Amino acid sequence: MAQEFFKNFPEMQYKLDSGKIITIKDFFRKSNIQGTAREAVVNYTYHELQEGDRPDVVASKLYGNGDLHWTFFLVNDFNNYYDWWKDQITFENYINQKYKGKFFVCDQSTDIVSATSKFLLGESVTGTNSRGIIIDVDPTFCRLGVDVEVGFENPIAITGSTSNKTVTPLSIIDARDGVAYYEKDGVKSTHFVSGSTAKTLWEDEYEKNEKKRLIKIIKPSMITAVVNQFEKVMKS
């Protein structure tokens, strides 16, 4: 989807540290163009994205031309297609992909890493009729991320196959339900203090995603003029 946007960029010669000269798109011009476009407030308004609203779908609805989706990336702080607001299905797939496995939540950080021993990233952990692989070691939140192969339906003593470190977690939860931060009076912290509220990774990701839902768009009445001006500047 980015091709329509980037095809307008002129090419430039760029010298690598090795001395080799390569030809690339002049992306450095993007910031100057974006600044000019954003300053022309009269040219744009706002649009709230709905389920199924891919960039090309929205451009087709607003402008009658799906190829004009690149204009959204011109006037918004989107670096690429993956910065676009995610609808419910896309969001859940993203969360499930990013936060895999389980969190084994322990009592204190030394249960994870101490002066004399520590669980190792990539090592196997075993318990009674249970086995998994450590995919995250996080002493800050006193937890181990584990890709469970079998068992671990309830908290039981686990032992690292390489480290030989042993601990019995307080709880085992889905990674997406792990704590992202604690918040009190608008201040975020990685440590719990009296009166603070825990925000889960899912909640944190959801809030970040929802902030992208209201996007800036070029007014349909101005789209032709703005696109023509953009192409003119890019070719100059």
- In terms of Cβ atoms closer than 10 Å to its own Cβ (0-12, 13-18, 19+), residue 131 is middle
- C-alpha to C-alpha distances, 17 to 11, 22, 53, 102, 155, nearest whole angstrom: 19, 11, 42, 43, 53
Got the DSSP string for 128-167?
Answer: TTEEEEEEEEETTTTEEEEEEEE--SS---EEETTT--EE
**pLDDT for the residue 209:** 97
Q: What is the mean pLDDT of residues 71-85?
A: 84
34-43, 66-75, 125-134: which has the minimum mean pLDDT? 34-43
Cβ atoms of residues 218 and 75 within 8 Å: yes
Note the pTM of the prediction, 2 decimals: 0.79
How far is Cα 82 from Cα 209, in angstroms, rounded to an integer?
A: 11
Encoding tokens for residue 205?
């990701």
Q: What is the mean pLDDT of residues 184-192?
A: 91
